[in-house]
Amino acid sequence: MPKQKTHSGAKKRFKVTGSGKITHEQAGRRHLMEVKSSRRTRKLESDQVVAPADVKKVKRLLGR
């Protein structure tokens, strides 16, 4: 049986923490930064945990 391949788009977007949680970067930090306040962009810096409803899908794409 061949090896299962990791989804190359998913591996760029999600990261698994040491405790097994899956994190992702928040949207809205790529462009048009002049319009957004400093407070808003600072809040967007932190990584977020993937929603419980999506964990199963994301783990499958990552081959876990």
Q: How does residue 62 score in pLDDT terms, banded at 50, 70 and 90?
A: very high
What is the phi/psi pair of residue 16, to 5°? -95, 130
Residue 23 in tokens? 């994190």
- CA 51 – CA 20 distance, rounded (Å): 14
> Domain of 50: which CATH number?
4.10.410.60
Say which residues have a Cβ less than 8 Å from residue 38's Cβ, sequence separation at least 6: none
Number of structural domains the chain divides into? 1
Which residues constitute the domain of residue 29?
Answer: 8-61
CB environment 7-30: b (16+ within 10 A), e (fewer):
eeebeeebeeeeeeebebeeeeee
User: In this structure, is residue 25 part of a structural domain?
Assistant: yes
pTM: 0.83
User: In this structure, is residue 2 part of a structural domain?
Assistant: no
User: In this structure, is residue 27 part of a structural domain?
Assistant: yes
User: In this structure, is residue 28 part of a structural domain?
Assistant: yes
User: In this structure, is residue 1 part of a structural domain?
Assistant: no
User: In this structure, is residue 3 part of a structural domain?
Assistant: no
Q: What is the pLDDT of residues 20-58, one digit of tens each?
A: 999 999 999 999 999 999 999 999 999 999 999 999 999
